[in-house]
Structure formats: structure tokens, C-alpha cells
Amino acid sequence: MRANRAASIILAVSFQTLQSPLCFLQSTLSDFRLPDWLQQYQCWLEKEGQDISDHTDRVGAPPLGMFDLSGTRVDEILYSPEYWRMLKHGYQAGLIWRVCEENAVFPAALGIYVTSFYDPGLACPYTVSLSTLVPLSKYGDAELKERFLPRLLQKDEAVWQGATWMTEIKGGSDLGATVETMARPAGTQWLLTGDKYFASNAGANLAVVAARPEGGARNVRGLALFLVPRYGRNGQLNYSIRRLKDKIATHSVPTGEVELRDSEAWLLGRAEDGIYLILEVLNVSRVANSMGSVGLAQRAMADAAAFAQGRVVFGKPLIEQPLMRRQFEDRLRQLQAASKLAWKAVVLLNEVWQERPPYSDRYHLFRLVAHLAKYWTAEVAVQTAKWAMEVHGGMGTLHEYRAERWLREAMILAIWEGPAHRQILDGLEVMERKHAHRLLFQSLAATVDASSLQQMEARVEQHLALPREEKEAGAEALFTDLARFTADALLQAEE
């Protein structure tokens, strides 16, 4: 019976629906009401943004104009002018300012979904701008908010972009050990010195930066979160971009190595809460990444469907071959389930994003779902994109067409904000220490039959009772099954 219901959904979500991110969301999320601005935003991307995105991907990492002709360091990122037009378009449409105006994360989450269908890399500037806006508005004092908030919320071209710079050369998982950027107090401000190795949206007007106040412990407790503007109060560059990185994808966001040298900064919140603020920032990004991954997976599948409809093999369209058709159906259902999981993370974030430590149980549930969603949606994006390339046959391996791009993009979505290994272990921790899985199962009780639920819960509890080594060693299968279970449960709730 489930199979039949799935089949009917698949018929409803026809391949036409696949071609539009908003149609897909409408057909998948029952509670989704489509705002006008978002519809217009998608139209613009379809008509203009997409071609700009193609060109930006093709050209690759932009050059960095380090010095002007007078010998002044300028660190200007040399994208095509139209890149900036495309980038600013999303800000003007309201991906960020609407979050404040509506006091809800939905505008950003939906905007990022739509953006990622056309350009997953472009979703990053919006994500990190959101991740900058949130801690500033929560933890900034009145003066700081007055100074910077209006800039991030401007509705015209002069809008400021945010950025979140944590990772240093020794790695991003174990920040407590690897962050070597030091902060020393200087009046009401701080001066930061250190190198950030993966600085997304390098060149942003305002970054939130993890650093260690002088004398701070050499672990995560010693870290604090700071605001660093691009230009100091003297009008000079407040940080340098050592170079832009030559990534395999997400060419629509400049990722750089950033050098802080006595860079002016403001402390956000209390230094001793630093690690909480840092994790809040990362959690926002993980949810955004989940929406982006699903948008990208939809795109890869949409392109594969279009190709398979046009390509004739043994007398009929490839898509009508039984094996190919089955693959489409299975993957479409998987995509719908993954969308529900990502959306669940969005809904939970929206509930808890204003919380401060100490957090409620609801926040811990959110954390678990965020880990599940980050992990699983990225996995779905990678596998869908890989399969979509194969559907294209040889054409899938050529830069001339789009298919190979989606796999490159997906691999980055799978890695940044922490790869599977990290999500699994952090998810494990929130189950062990906060019993977040119990909250999860409670929340699913209404929609899943009791025996399945009980079986899954028993399996999780049993696993958590294993000795540490064994528990970690075997966590992948558990986490994968839990993600799939949750996603399927959420999808069934609709059916």
C-alpha cells in the first residue's frame, strides 16, 4: 500500500515539477505557501541568473587584484560585473533582510533552496550572511547593532555581506586545538592576529571570526567569537586575502585564505560562551546546507530527466526503459523524503534560533535533526548527481554540459560544515548526552506505526549502550538508518 501511495505521489510530482524548485516544494511540503517575491526570484534566476551562473562556473576561481597601480593593497576580487549583479539580486530580493522583517528563518531557507537549484555556490554568501546576522542581532550590544545591523539589512546594492571564518590550516573539526588566531584587548575593541585557511566569502564586509583571547585555554573553552569588518576605522583594509582558493566547484563564492594582522574586532557575547556561539553559527549553516543539498539534488535529477526524455535508445526514450524508469522513481521518492528532513531542520531552527545557552530540550532535538539533515541531504545530493552524470553517458563527463558540475558542487556541500564523519560523531554525542533521539522518536510517534518506531528506538538505545570504541566504530550504519528512517517517516506523514 505504501508503494501505491508512493507511486501516486510520484505521478503527482511529475517530471515537469522537477524542473521548478518552487513547484517541487509546493508538491512536497503540505504547509508551504509560496510568497510572490520568491516566485519572482526564481523567474529571475531562470531567465538571467542561470546563464551568469554557467559562466561563473566555467571561468573558475576569480583572480584577486592585490594592488592597484599606485601600489596600495586593495584585495579586489575580480569577478565579472554580472556576478555582482546576480549576487546582489538575492540580497535585494530579501533572502536576508526578510529574516529580520518576518522574524523567521524561512525566507532565507526557501531562498537558499531556490538559489541552489541554479547555483549551489551562490547560496553560500547568503548562508554566511545569515550566520553573521544571527549572532550580531542576538549577542551584539546596542552600539554594535547600530553600527552594523542596518548595513546587513540594506535593501539596495550597498548591502553588506557577512562571512564566518573558523577553520585554520590544521583542520576544521577540532577547533579547540587548531585555532591559533589570538585576540588581544585594545580598549572596547580587540586586535586579532592569525590566518584563516578556509575563509568563505572572502572579501565580505563583516565576518564573524573564531579566535582565542590571550591567555585562553588551548581547547574549545578558550575560544570566543568576534566581529571583523573589512575596513578598519581608519578606512584601511582590516584583513588581507592571501589568495583565493582553486576549488573544484562553488565558483560563485570566493573562498580565500585570510590574514588577520592586528585586525580590529569586536567581541560577541561573553568570551566564556564563545564555543556556544560558534556552534550556533555552524548549526545555522548546516540547516542552510541541507536545503541547498536538496535543491541541488533536485536539479541534477531534473537535468537527468530532461536528457533521458530526449535521448532515444533502442527505439524509445531512455527514460521509458524499465530500469531507468525505476531508478527515477526510487530516487524521486528518496529526494522527497530528504526534502522533508531538511525542512524539518528548518522548522526546528525557526523555533530555537533565538535561544541562548543553557538550551532547552527542543534545541537538542534541533541539533540532532540538523546533523541528520546535513549528513543525509549531502549524501543524497552526491549520489543523485553521480547517477545523473551516468544517465548522460559520455556527455556527462564533459565540461561543455552541466551534468558534471552538479557532482562537483555536491562534493563541496558534503564536505564543508563538516563531512559525514563529523556529523555522525556529533549526532552520536547529542544522543548520548542529551538523549535527543528520544525527543525525535516522540515527535515522529504520530506518523509512524508504533512497532517500527519501537524497533528503531531499541536499536539506537542498544547501540548507545555499547562500549565507546565499538559505539563510534559502528556509528555510520546506525546514523544512516536513522536518517533514512526519519526522512521516510516525515514523508509518510504527508501521504
Segment 361 to 380, residues that bind a second copy, using CB under 8 A: none
Residue selected from 415, 453, 464, 493 as contacting a second copy according to rule CB under 8 A: 415
Structural contact between residues 239 and 259, judged by C-beta atoms closer than 8 angstroms: yes
Total residues contacting a second copy (rule CB under 8 A)?
Answer: 86
55 within 8 A of 62, measured Cβ to Cβ = no
Candidate ranges 6-14, 49-57, 119-127, 184-192; the one touching a second copy (CB under 8 A) = 49-57
Q: Is residue 217 near a second copy by the rule CB under 8 A?
A: no
Site for a second copy in 122-181 (CB under 8 A): 167, 169-174, 177
242 binds a second copy (CB under 8 A): yes
Identity of the residue, 227 or 431, whose beta carbon is nearer to a second copy in the bound complex? 431
Residues 424-483 that bind a second copy (CB under 8 A): 424-425, 468-476
Eight-class DSSP state of 160: P
Question: Residue 426: which residues within 8 A CB-CB, separation 6 or more?
Answer: 367, 371, 418
Shortest separation between residue 267's beta carbon and a second copy, angstroms: 27
**Within 10 Å of residue 104's Cβ, how many Cβ atoms?**
15
CB of 119 to a second copy, least distance (A): 13
Q: How far is the CB of 348 from a second copy (least distance, A)?
A: 25
Give the alpha-carbon dihedral of 297, 299, 303, 305, to 10 degrees: 60
To which H or E segment does residue 286 belong? helix 274-310
Binding-site member from 104, 401, 429, 494 for a second copy (CB under 8 A): 401
396 contributes a contact to a second copy by CB under 8 A = yes
Strands 240-244 vs 312-313: parallel, antiparallel or unpaired: unpaired
Q: 46 or 48: whose CB is closer to a second copy?
A: 48
> Given the rule CB under 8 A, which of 32-40, 129-137, 224-232, 420-428 is the region that contacts a second copy?
420-428
Q: What is the nearest approach in angstroms of a second copy to the Cβ of residue 82? A: 4
Rounded to a whole number of angstroms, the minimum distance from the CB of residue 310 to a second copy is 5
Q: Whose Cβ is closer to a second copy: residue 142's or residue 465's?
A: 465
Of 11, 33, 36, 70, the residue at the interface with a second copy (CB under 8 A) is 70
Q: How far apart are CA 418 and CA 221, in angstroms?
A: 20
C-alpha cell at 450: 508504533
DSSP 314-365: TTEEGGGSHHHHHHHHHHHHHHHHHHHHHHHHHHHHHHHTT--SSPPHHHHH
**Cell reading at 438:** 528520544
Please give the Cα distance from 392 to 9 (Å, whole number): 26
Smallest separation (angstroms) from a second copy to the CB of 390: 4
What single letter denotes the amino acid at residue 406?
W
Kindly indicate which of the ranges 97-105, 136-144, 315-323, 439-447 contains the residues binding a second copy, using the contact rule CB under 8 A. 315-323
User: CA of 99: how far to CAs of 104, 110, 219, 234, in Å?
Assistant: 5, 11, 33, 32
CA distance 396 to 393: 5
CB of 406 to a second copy, least distance (A): 12
310 is a site residue for a second copy (CB under 8 A): yes
326 contacts a second copy (rule: CB under 8 A): yes
- Cβ(4)–Cβ(21) under 8 Å? no
If binding is defined by CB under 8 A, does position 43 make contact with a second copy?
no
71 binds a second copy (CB under 8 A): yes
Stretch that binds a second copy, among 46-54, 139-147, 156-164, 359-367 (CB under 8 A): 46-54
CA-to-CA separations, 442 to 170, 389, 428, 448, in angstroms, rounded:
40, 39, 18, 10
The residue from 78, 158, 445, 458 that contacts a second copy (CB under 8 A) is 78
Per-residue interface string for the shown chain with a second copy, residues 176-205, x marking contact by CB under 8 A: -x-------------------xx-------
Give the x-and-dash track for 271-290 against a second copy (CB under 8 A): --------------------
**Interface with a second copy, residue 392, by CB under 8 A:** yes
Backbone angles phi, psi at 170, to 5 degrees: -85, 0
- Is there binding between residue 270 and a second copy (CB under 8 A)? no
Segments in 171-240 forming alpha helices (H):
175-178
- The letter for the amino acid at 78 is L
- Judge whether 181 and 209 are in contact, CB under 8 Å: yes
C-alpha cell at 148: 552594523
Among positions 87-126, residues that touch a second copy (CB under 8 A) are none
411 contacts a second copy (rule: CB under 8 A): yes
Least distance from a second copy to the Cβ atom of residue 124, Å:
13
